[in-house]
Structure 1
Amino acid sequence: MAEDAIAIGGVDLTDPDVYASGMPFDAFRALRRRAPVAWHPHQDGPGFLALTGYDEILAVSRDSATWSSQATGVFFEIPRPEDAYQLELMMLTMDPPRHTKLRSLISKGFTPRQVARLNGRVAEMARQIVDAMAAQGECDFVDDVAGALPSYVIAELMGIPLGDGRRLYELTEIMNTGSVGQQETAVDAQMQMFAYGTELAARKRADPGDDIATSLLHAEVDGEHLTDLEFNMFFLLLINAGGDTTRNLVAAGILALLEHPAEQARLAADPSLLPTAVEEMLRFTSPVTVFVRTATRDTELRGIPVQAGDRAAMFYPSANRDETRFADPDRFDIGRTPNPHLAFGGGGTHYCLGANLARVEAAAIIPEVLSRMKGLELAGPVERVRSNLMNGIRSMPVRFSPA
């Protein structure tokens, strides 16, 4: 029988308050050392196996036949029976072969020409965002810089006004922090998103543009197009997953540089280190905390027997600090190579669809920030997001010399 994760780590890994004060790296370290596959109770539902070792997370990620995303979803909470139908609509919670088909349809939307043009636009938008801030001398880095870029990029992808991108992004904020008292607001925000997506699909079908939304609606696999519901679900995922994670990466990445001035100086002296710096930010800050899988058959993990129906949670920030894979894993080293981090998942069916886009966004905005917001420093306490899913910063006041 697996050992008890809370007894070993000393914290409840499902409690959002644990993460509000910082990622529980000490608990992860203790678990990796003693029980990288440990039983974790959950007060709001069935317990699960907490996976904190790199190898187990990699193995589960790459075996979607044994480890399903769809059976009970990918979050700690299992959907109510009446909501379970949604699991087969969202790419995040879909299994092959349906997932494979939909993913190839979506990737047809990202034509090389569109991606190339998008990359040029990302650089331009990054400049505009920093331009707008540079004269002010202070801002909330999360809202004004890190969150602005992904919302603009998604607007560009969808062929909608940039202001609409900001508004949709605000709606995902409401959806993602929907605690019990705010359940109504979260549902209302989701309805507004769906209404927008439905209207957008109708508009792009009637009046096609040279954008990815149009490509998505016109692409087909085996003679089938995306339905309105599928388009809406993808639209939701794009804004949600694409916005939150990239914002988390850029904000936490800049914070890591501020907290490691020698590495910041090293990057300033050698800009060719930018690609490895972005990979190290991904590893060191791990924008997504956890996804869950469900065993489809009896199996085992590191000698621990697993029964069909058991759930296992993959803690990516722990995998990314695993001593067996990374030398001196708690050190932030912008030149680290190789860097086989699992920030985008462990490969396999659900490897992050937007991985390259996130890299392009980070590589566009980080040099702009460092070169134009001179003397950048924290101007107040950094407030983290209270979430057991997203590893993010809610607010980060900064000041700098106005340009």
Structure 2
Amino acid sequence: MTPKPVINLISPETFAATGHPWEQYAWLRKNAPVYWHDEPNGPGFWAITKYEDVRTISRLPKVFSSYETSVMLPDPDPMGLYAQRLMMLNMDPPQHDRFKLLVSRGFTPKNAPLLRPKIEELARDIVDAVLAKGECDFVSEIAGRLPSGLIAELMGMPRADGERLYDLTEIMHTNDDAIAPPEIKMNAVGEMLGYAQSVADLKRQNPGDDLATILVNAEIDGDHLTDEEFQWFFLLLVNAGGDTTRNLLAAGLQLLFDHPDQRTKLIGDLDGLLGSAVEEMLRYCSPVTHFKRTAMQDTVVGGQSIKAGERVVMFYGSANRDEDIFENADTFDVARHPNPHVAFGAGGPHLCLGMHVARVELAVMFRELLTRMPHIEAGGPIERMHSSFIAGVHRMPIKY
């Protein structure tokens, strides 16, 4: 039997070295797939590490609530819970369904390909801006600029404003109080909410052909988004839209550096393998590490009794390495098929709204990089985000 490692799935230090605590995940899947995890200054939670258990919890919102204590660790205080409940991420049906109908028009599978020309233009501009330098910080100068630029375009904002919002998301997701004390984080949230309100006011006075105009004017059965709802959806859009794409681009590029055989294989059949390579990067890296639910009744998960009121936390990186689902789960394979990963969620009402757009962004940028920077390589050690929620990279020097 493999010796039990120290289990700590809430400290940023746990995620600092490799993005995810793969050794802890593997031990838990084999020995305690539903594991009681103590929480300093909190009630504790059940850590869920098997794929099928994550799927089950995700698809039973009446049993496992996002609204009750929010989806984030730790539990927020009453004022924080009120604010978080304004975000679709922390809603349960039927409230979630009504909200999703209002905001989903820009995120359908049919709409995502229509954005490809704009995404291709953004990717070209981003690479053009750094190509002659021969080296740059991949995260801030390439990976972060694609989603921030696209969000700015979608919302009808100046591109420079999108870059400022990207900086604010970095502050919000940093767990190191020395880098971003609580008051700095609150100021970042306040700045983003204030900016969102200015966008709403502008689009009501001067409607445009953009997502912000759609959102502030959307109506179903007489309902519109309130100012607060728009502000918090805007914050969610910027955070979720930027985090997955930015961090997957950095993590995916690092995978190609670490697996030169797979890089060669991908470049040799870019048209045939780019789609599956992006899905494998999502599976292998899982940018969002976890989300929480609260049991609304006594139930059972993976043979373990769960009492009403107890928290369950789904660890997506572990589910995506589940040996019962993925053959050679720890092997990075750009041709992997099938690949039913849960990097965008495991079904149910909270499947990622922007996943179709994110896939287009990722495919477009990797094509741009591999064709225009064929000799791209690491330019120094990477610096990971100090976060237990986002498996992200803060700085990544590259040469090309």
* Length-normalised TM-score, structure 2: 0.96
Match of 2:136 among 125, 139, 143: 139
Corresponding position of 1:226: 225
What SS class does the counterpart of residue 356 from structure 1 fall into?
helix
Closer/same/farther in 2, CA of residues 298 and 190 from structure 1, 3 Å limit? same
Quote the Cα distance in structure 2 between the aligned partners of 1:115 and 1:13: 35
Paired position in structure 1 for 2:12: 16
The alpha carbon displacement at 1:9 in A equals 3.9
Structure 1: gaps of 5 or more residues:
1-6
Secondary structure in 2 matching 1:39:
strand
Whether contact under 8 Å (2:173, 2:390) holds in the other structure is no
| Distance in structure 2 (CA, Å) of the matches to 1:26 and 1:152 | 37
Q: Describe the shift of the 1:307–1:165 C-alpha distance in structure 2 as closer, same or farther (beyond 3 A).
A: same
For 1:206 and 1:111, the matched residues in 2 are separated by 27
Q: Give 1:32-111 correspondences, 5 Å limit.
A: 32-110=29-107
Q: CA deviation digits over 1:303-360, x for unaligned, max 9?
A: 2111100101100000000000000011110010000000001010100011011101
Q: Give 1:164's match in structure 2, choosing from 143, 148, 161.
A: 161
User: 1-side partners of 2:110 and 2:316: how far apart?
Assistant: 33
For the 8 Å contact 2:107–2:356, the answer to whether it is kept is: no
Matched, 1:273 2:273: yes
Which of structure 1's runs of 4+ aligned residues deviate more than 3 A? 109-117, 178-181
Q: Does 1:336 align with 2:331?
A: no
Identity of aligned residues (%): 49
Residue 263 of structure 2 is aligned to residue 264 of structure 1: yes
1:189-230 per-residue CA deviation (whole Å, 9 max, x = no partner) reads: 111111111111011011100011111111111111111111
Give the structure 2 partner of residue 242 of structure 1.
241
Q: Which residue of 2 aligns with 1:367?
A: 367
Superposition deviation, residue 111 in structure 1: 7.2
Superposed CA deviations along residues 1-60 of structure 1, whole A, max 9, x for unmatched, are xxxxxx944231111111011221111101100111111111131111011111101100
SS in 2 for 1:294: strand
RMSD of aligned alpha carbons: 1.5
Separation (CA, whole Å) in 2 of partners of 1:390 and 1:321: 17
Structure 2 equivalent of residue 214 of structure 1: 213
For 1:365 and 1:145, locate their aligned partners in 2 and report how far apart those are by CA, in whole Å: 9
Stretches of structure 2 that go unaligned for 5 or more consecutive residues are none
| One-letter amino acid of the structure 2 residue matched with residue 304 of structure 1 | Q
Aligned AA (2:71): V
Deviation at 1:258, TM superposition (A): 1.0
Deviation, 1:382, is 1.2
Q: Distance in 2 between matches of 1:116 and 1:159?
A: 19
* Deviation (angstroms), 1:274: 0.5
**Partner Cα distance (1:114, 1:210) in 2:** 14
In the alignment, the residues of structure 2 paired with residue 109 and residue 373 of structure 1 have an alpha-carbon distance, to the nearest angstrom, of 32
| Residue type of the alignment partner of 1:338 | P
Q: Deviations over 1:159-196 (max 9, x none)?
A: 11111100111112122226445111111111111111
Partners of 1:34 and 1:249 lie apart in 2 by: 30
Whole-angstrom distance in 2 between the partners of 1:113 and 1:53: 32
Cα 1:26–1:115, aligned 2, differ >3 Å: closer, same or farther? closer
The superposition leaves residues 239-287 of structure 1 with CA deviations (integer Å, 9 ceiling, x where unpaired) of: 1111111101111011101111111111111012110011001001101
Q: What is the CA-CA distance between 1:396 and the residue it aligns to?
A: 0.8
> Using the alignment, how far apart are the partners of 1:113 and 1:155 within structure 2?
21
8 Å Cα contact 1:89-1:233 kept in structure 2: yes
The alpha-carbon deviation at position 383 of structure 1 amounts to 1.2
- What is the distance in 1 between the residues matched to 2:110 and 2:299? 44
The secondary structure found in structure 1 opposite 2:300 is strand
What is the match of residue 4 of structure 1? Answer: none
Query: For residues 109-139 of structure 1, what are the alpha-carbon distances to aligned partners after superposition, in whole Å with 9 as ceiling and x for unaligned?
Result: 4478864542210011011111111111101
In 1, the alpha carbon distance for the partners of 2:376 and 2:332 equals 19
Q: Is the 8 A contact 2:175 2:387 kept in 1?
A: no
CA distance in 2, matches of 1:291, 1:191: 23
Matched positions, count: 394
CA distance in 2, matches of 1:215, 1:354: 16
Q: CA 1:245 to 1:110, structure 2 compared with 1: closer, same or farther past 3 Å?
A: closer
- 1:255 equivalent in structure 2: 254
Letter in 1 for 2:232: M
Asked if residue 153 in structure 1 is aligned to residue 156 in structure 2, the reply is no
* 2:26 alignment partner in structure 1: 29
Deviation for aligned residue 1:87:
3.2
Tell me if the contact between 2:107 and 2:354 (Cα under 8 Å) persists in the aligned partners: no
Q: Secondary structure at the match of 1:346?
A: coil
Residue pair 1:39, 1:47 contacting (<8 A) in 2 also? yes
